[in-house]
Amino acid sequence: MEFIAWATHKYVMHGFLWKLHKDHHQVNKDRILENNDAFFLIFAIPGAAFMVIGSTLLYVGIGITLYGFAYFIVHEVFIHQRIKLFKRTRIPYFKAIRKAHKVHHKSLVKEDGSCFGMLIVPFKYWKEAKV
């Protein structure tokens, strides 16, 4: 799922659906919801539909749903702290995730982005996190 999420983030969210994703890079702290939150439905609907259809698609739906749950916990709760549960961490992997995502958010435009994934972190951020 990480590769699918990476490609979707790079080519859909930073591509033809940039209008929905843009406000995630240009944060307005006064708003509770972002247009970017619409991606919850964009991804949850096929996941749920595949589980209802069943057969082989059941496992695809479960994969989409589990990745969506991981995304919510890691991205929304841990990285952006939209729900305040985590303050700091000493775990290098989680420090590397935060650093890579911070680098991703340096770009306020849809082009020239980096670090489009979430769970697989480039090695250079691991090295920095261990210091």
Evaluated on CA atoms 76, 116, 124, 119, the torsion sign reads positive
Question: How far, in Å, CA of 8 to CA of 97, rounded?
Answer: 18
**54 phi-psi bin (left φ>0, alpha ψ -120 to 50, beta other):** left
* pLDDT, tens digit, 9 for 90 and up, residues 7-46: 999 999 999 999 999 988 887 778 888 899 999 999 999 9
Helix, coil or strand: residue 88 = coil
What's the whole-number mean pLDDT along residues 112-121? 84
Residue count of the chain: 131
Q: Report whether pLDDT(89) > 90.
A: no
- The structure tokens listed for 124 are 């250079």
pTM: 0.80
